[in-house]
Amino acid sequence: MMRYIKLVNFEINRFSKIYLSLLLITLVSQFAGVIIVTKSLLKDARETISNEKLSEAAYIANYGGIDFTHITNTLLFVGPIALSAVALIFYIFLIWYRDWFGKNTFIYRILMLPTSRLSIYFSKATAIFLMVLGLIAFQIIILPMENALFHTNVPEALLNEISISTITKASQVLALIIPSTFTQFLISYGIGLMIMSILFTAIMFERSFRIKGIIMGLLYCGIAAVLFLAPVLMEIGNFYFYPNELFGLMLAIGIILTGLSVWLGAWLLKNRVTV
């Protein structure tokens, strides 16, 4: 267990500089977005009030108040989240291929460690999952601060105050990364774990069989996608499932695909990937 924990810590430390940069970009961009977009919204509101000779109450009645959802749909707010997501998806591949193609072909040292190769597999998966959770936790922490800054910059007469939970539900991006219920959290991040395990297995195919492995990996990803989406595809045809049946089928297929991908990826790493 200690070796596994050390491997997880090692993998996180290797990505720490880029990871901290992503956190900093998110912090600066979103807070800058709050200030810039708020000023723009207030400018537009004042111009409308002036041009149409409205009172603030009349403006609110006609156009509604200014709320934080105007911020969450901007590039300055959503952009860093998308950048972080792309970076972590890219790291799913980098976490393996850096070991093979780095300066000192580090994979040889890792595979020769006196520990189970399954621990190496799980340490990489755990490191990525912890970094995802860290980014989500960071967003949850700074969101109330951004909302508070927004409130201080908008006059009370024009402010439409809404709760943090309403903000997350109103934004498609925030609703996706910060599910409102524990069940939704398990579903969203369970699918994420499934996709990561499938990609890990595709990488192991490539590392085991090289050119043939690329084709095998792509085929595996395609078959997995078709299997997982099979209930939805069947509904497009002549089949019909009740919502609970559809959910149950996709849950069962997702669990099977995740388990199969982990087993196959670990087996390939242990028996086919050589130093």
> Distance between CA 70 and CA 10 in Å, rounded?
40
> Distance between CA 92 and CA 100 in Å, rounded?
14
| Nearest residue to 151 via CA among 229, 43, 38 | 38
Q: What is the pLDDT along the chain (275 residues), one digit of tens a residue?
A: 778 888 899 889 989 999 999 999 999 999 999 999 999 999 989 898 888 888 888 888 888 889 999 999 899 999 999 999 999 999 999 888 887 876 556 677 777 777 778 888 899 999 999 999 999 999 999 999 999 999 999 988 888 889 999 999 999 899 999 998 888 898 899 999 999 999 999 999 999 998 999 999 999 999 999 999 988 888 776 777 788 888 899 999 999 999 999 999 999 988 887 65
The number of helices, as runs of H, and strands, as runs of E, in the chain is 12, 0
One-character DSSP codes across 73-108: TSHHHHHHHHHHHHHHHHHHHHHHHHHHHSTT-THH
